[in-house]
Chains A and B, each alone.
Chain A
């Protein structure tokens, strides 16, 4: 079984390796973070995307990849390069919302398509929406909303909530409170990039909370979880998937066990596309895929599905083909709301030990067919 998959992969690799210069295909510019502290996320998104391209064996899909160093100015300059020199048709790859805000408006204004593998800030979902901009991942608020909904549904009465003091952090707590309307034990904004949470944990302990909700992406979440687990505060923790994703769980270790987190994807979602993705990713890269890899994989497959239906030079037809979202998503059900953001189920995962690997498994569904709060604000 494994051998045949490998053989298929190898064949796909050879196909994809053929020169594509002559093909009248689609040229994709991928701008993502490949160096510095946040590189893990960009690498996963890129690997997921490229895996889908490989498995589809498309030789008419040419991908140019550049490193944005997580700096918005660099991302803007790379977008200029992709559009002016590389003459790409589609842009994708950006992980961080602040970089997306810098690149997306200008790119779509120049008639390019932008497919988001991750970042989907509210400003691009509501008033700033654009027919050429599609978010394949979620709308930024979604996972926080689902966590709020789950907290309410699970009967928690007094959560303590915290997030970093920056726009995405504020969106997070707003999103959470949109679906959890009860009492809060406390609401704290931490410094962006903060690594010591002793002070906040002491506040949690003193607040009389019955649970903790936090959004602290990257290293901040690792630090928080390790310190929280060691503090003796044993309140249940709920959060969006970002701090409990596969790339990070290894570094958090057992401190994360038992935590409930909300995600639109998990490696145990039972469908053929997901199975092929998880197996293929492990065979190709020798590690378990993360949420970002799954989003990259879906983004490439969405693009390929549109290529099968329309020519990218016919922008209206291509846009309509993208909007149909006629591709086998690793998440199962997937469609676009009128503002080009997904309508999808959001699950509750629990961090568990499988053998000697720490990973997630689905335990509940937080929201079904959830779109986003900005649909009405988007006029297009």
Chain B
């Protein structure tokens, strides 16, 4: 076992130990925080597929996060108000069932990622960063000024959606559900990285021309990676909306894109558990610093700066050492 695997195991153990302790010590808010970590980590895992594996620096992943959130909000609000979403040509009703909502969130954000990806992947480098940012902002302003689903006020869902066999209103059960989703996606993502597709994608990041000479078109690879990445982040958005029982356009804001990116970089780009470590560190800092000073964001900024300047490769990179790259 190499060092990174050990660190990953420790993080996974910590993720499970902290909420167990919280249940024992009757600290329900710690469970909520742990849930938030798991969901935001999931969003980061999504971004990491594009960013770490594909080298696609997307500054607009809030678009997919928000679409996932609104998939939940729109479906659940129709179910809550007993109004069908569409009556003609076929009747579509809202739903309060998580699996259905997840499916819709994943499909909707994958579709959006396909459209955005087809257009954005024609560019590269800084242009790619900026055009993804532009698409995110476009959706942000659309969500604010679109009156049907609350506009800037957003949508409140009074009761958390249901999952067969679970009581999702119980914080511990909802946490367990989010963990399960996170670990399944982490497992799939590690398989993806080792698959032929993942290796080719990695190759496209490192040397595009070499890939072309063996007859693989990098554009298609990247597009598929971008779609998968968007879909995972969209799923995280649906869960985040369920955690808060609320969606609003701030899920689309460029700050959200920035934060998801921060989770990935803070933990370590292209590291399997990078987003998990990053999200956990960020949430813990936000929680602890927020209690210290009104100007806590100064200290948050200083910490982030320290990590970039002096802890290259993020948390996991620093602890596990340089990744051995096989060329």
The docked-state distance in angstroms from the alpha carbon of A258 to that of B245 is: 45
CB contacts (< 8 Å) of B251 on chain A: these are 73
Q: Does A72 contact B (CB under 8 A)?
A: yes
CB distance from B204 to the nearest CB of A (A): 35
Q: Does B97 contact A (CB under 8 A)?
A: no
Question: Nearest residue in B to A36 (C-beta to C-beta)?
Answer: B297
Question: Nearest residue in A to B283 (C-beta to C-beta)?
Answer: A77
Q: Can you list 12 A-B pairs with a CB-CB distance of less than 8 A? A: A72-B250, A73-B240, A77-B32, A85-B28, A101-B150, A101-B154, A102-B156, A102-B244, A106-B246, A166-B145, A167-B151, A168-B153
CB distance from A217 to the nearest CB of B (A): 12
- Please determine whether A34 and B294 come into contact, CB atoms closer than 8 angstroms: yes
Contacts A35-B296, A72-B250 given; indicate if A98 touches B158 (C-beta within 8 A). Answer: no
- Please determine whether A71 and B295 come into contact, CB atoms closer than 8 angstroms: no
- Please determine whether A170 and B147 come into contact, CB atoms closer than 8 angstroms: yes
Q: Does B209 contact A (CB under 8 A)?
A: no
Across chains A and B, which 8 residue pairs bring their CB atoms closest together, nearest first?
Answer: A85-B29, A84-B28, A166-B152, A76-B244, A81-B29, A98-B153, A102-B246, A167-B151
Interface size on B, residues (CB 8 A): 30
Residues 148-187 of chain A: 1 if any B CB is under 8 Å from the residue's CB, otherwise 0?
A: 0000000000000000011110100000000000000000
- Please determine whether B156 and A84 come into contact, CB atoms closer than 8 angstroms: no
Question: Nearest residue in B to A123 (C-beta to C-beta)?
Answer: B153
- Please determine whether A72 and B147 come into contact, CB atoms closer than 8 angstroms: no
- Please determine whether B36 and A166 come into contact, CB atoms closer than 8 angstroms: no
Residues 63-101 of chain A: 1 if any B CB is under 8 Å from the residue's CB, otherwise 0?
A: 000110001110011001100110000000000011001
Contacts A76-B246, A85-B27 given; indicate if A192 touches B32 (C-beta within 8 A). Answer: no
CB contacts (< 8 Å) of B144 on chain A: these are 165-166, 192
A167 touches which of B150, B158, B240, B245 (Cβ 8 Å): B150
CB distance from B51 to the nearest CB of A (A): 23
Q: Does B290 contact A (CB under 8 A)?
A: yes
CB contacts (< 8 Å) of A168 on chain B: these are 152-153
Q: Does B248 contact A (CB under 8 A)?
A: yes
Question: Nearest residue in A to B160 (C-beta to C-beta)?
Answer: A106
Contacts A72-B154, A102-B246, A165-B145 given; indicate if A80 touches B240 (C-beta within 8 A). Answer: no
CB contacts (< 8 Å) of B156 on chain A: these are 101-102, 105-106
CB contacts (< 8 Å) of B290 on chain A: these are 66-67
- Please determine whether B248 and A102 come into contact, CB atoms closer than 8 angstroms: yes
Find residues 100-154 in chain A having any chain B CB closer than 8 Å to their own CB: 101-102, 105-106, 109, 121, 123
CB contacts (< 8 Å) of A66 on chain B: these are 290
Find residues 189-216 in chain A having any chain B CB closer than 8 Å to their own CB: 191-192
Residues 285-318 of chain B: 1 if any A CB is under 8 Å from the residue's CB, otherwise 0?
A: 0000010001111000000000000000000000
Find residues 27-42 in chain B having any chain A CB closer than 8 Å to their own CB: 27-30, 32, 36
CB contacts (< 8 Å) of A67 on chain B: these are 290, 294, 296
The docked-state distance in angstroms from the alpha carbon of A101 to that of B150 is: 10
The docked-state distance in angstroms from the alpha carbon of A109 to that of B80 is: 15
A109 touches which of B147, B158, B171, B297 (Cβ 8 Å): B158
CB contacts (< 8 Å) of B151 on chain A: these are 166-167
CB contacts (< 8 Å) of A85 on chain B: these are 27-30
The docked-state distance in angstroms from the alpha carbon of A10 to that of B248 is: 44
CB contacts (< 8 Å) of A97 on chain B: these are 153
- Please determine whether B240 and A105 come into contact, CB atoms closer than 8 angstroms: no
The docked-state distance in angstroms from the alpha carbon of A84 to that of B28 is: 6
Contacts A101-B153, A166-B152 given; indicate if A80 touches B248 (C-beta within 8 A). Answer: no
The docked-state distance in angstroms from the alpha carbon of A77 to that of B286 is: 12
CB contacts (< 8 Å) of B296 on chain A: these are 35, 67
Question: Nearest residue in A to B69 (C-beta to C-beta)?
Answer: A73
- Please determine whether B248 and A73 come into contact, CB atoms closer than 8 angstroms: yes
Question: Nearest residue in A to B36 (C-beta to C-beta)?
Answer: A77
Question: Nearest residue in B to A101 (C-beta to C-beta)?
Answer: B153
CB distance from B46 to the nearest CB of A (A): 18
CB contacts (< 8 Å) of A105 on chain B: these are 156, 158
- Please determine whether A106 and B32 come into contact, CB atoms closer than 8 angstroms: no
CB distance from B202 to the nearest CB of A (A): 34
The docked-state distance in angstroms from the alpha carbon of A5 to that of B116 is: 64
- Please determine whether A106 and B248 come into contact, CB atoms closer than 8 angstroms: no
- Please determine whether B32 and A81 come into contact, CB atoms closer than 8 angstroms: yes
CB distance from B250 to the nearest CB of A (A): 6
CB contacts (< 8 Å) of B32 on chain A: these are 77, 80-81, 84
Question: Nearest residue in A to B297 (C-beta to C-beta)?
Answer: A35
B246 touches which of A35, A72, A84, A192 (Cβ 8 Å): A72
Contacts A85-B28, A102-B246, A165-B144 given; indicate if A192 touches B152 (C-beta within 8 A). Answer: yes
The docked-state distance in angstroms from the alpha carbon of A172 to that of B171 is: 39
CB contacts (< 8 Å) of A106 on chain B: these are 156, 158, 245-246
Contacts A35-B295, A84-B171 supplied; 14 other A-B pairs, CB < 8 Å: A35-B294, A66-B290, A67-B294, A72-B154, A73-B246, A76-B245, A101-B153, A102-B156, A102-B246, A106-B245, A109-B158, A165-B145, A166-B144, A167-B150
CB contacts (< 8 Å) of B152 on chain A: these are 98, 166-168, 192
CB contacts (< 8 Å) of A191 on chain B: these are 141
CB distance from B28 to the nearest CB of A (A): 4
CB distance from A122 to the nearest CB of B (A): 10
Contacts A35-B295, A166-B144 given; indicate if A73 touches B28 (C-beta within 8 A). Answer: no
Most-contacted residue by chain A among B28, B147, B156, B297 (CB, 10 A): B156
The docked-state distance in angstroms from the alpha carbon of A76 to that of B250 is: 13
Question: Nearest residue in B to A73 (C-beta to C-beta)?
Answer: B244
Question: Nearest residue in B to A39 (C-beta to C-beta)?
Answer: B294
Residues 37-64 of chain B: 1 if any A CB is under 8 Å from the residue's CB, otherwise 0?
A: 0000000000000000000000000000
